[in-house]
Amino acid sequence: MTPNEIRKGDRVTLRDGTTATVLDNKRGAIRMIEVPALFGPAGMTDMGSSYVSDWARGPDGERVTFPPALQQKLDRIRAAGF
């Protein structure tokens, strides 16, 4: 499953084991997600942008794979130190 196949409302698992909800239908290397808050009362959430390279599993538990063009872009981002 590629990141472009994941739609708004789908839940993904990040590489650190956290489950996040996707908040947009965009394509590319950066997507908006919502995650449980680390600090604050239970049930609070934080939202922000995330590189799709931080995603490990898609909504059905399938591994997230990257097309060659997107993988090259992610490699350049990682080489720049982000």
DSSP string, 6-63: --TT-EEEETTS-EEEE-----SSEEEEEEE-SSSSTT-EEEEEEEGGGEEE-TTSPB
What pLDDT, on the 0 to 100 scale, is given for residue 5?
94
Give residue 19's pLDDT: 95
Q: What does DSSP assign to residue 64?
A: P
Mean pLDDT of 7-25: 95
Q: Dmax of the chain from CA atoms?
A: 41
pLDDT at 81: 87
| Complete domains list, the chain, with CATH | 3-79 (2.30.30)
Write down the pLDDT at residue 13. 96
What would the pLDDT profile of 25-48 be if each residue is shown by its tens digit?
Answer: 999 899 999 999 988 888 899 999
Q: At 78, which helix (H) or strand (E)? A: helix 68-79
The residue among 40 and 2 whose pLDDT is bigger is: 2
Q: Provide mean pLDDT across the span 54-81.
A: 92
Neighbours of 36 (CB within 10 A): 14
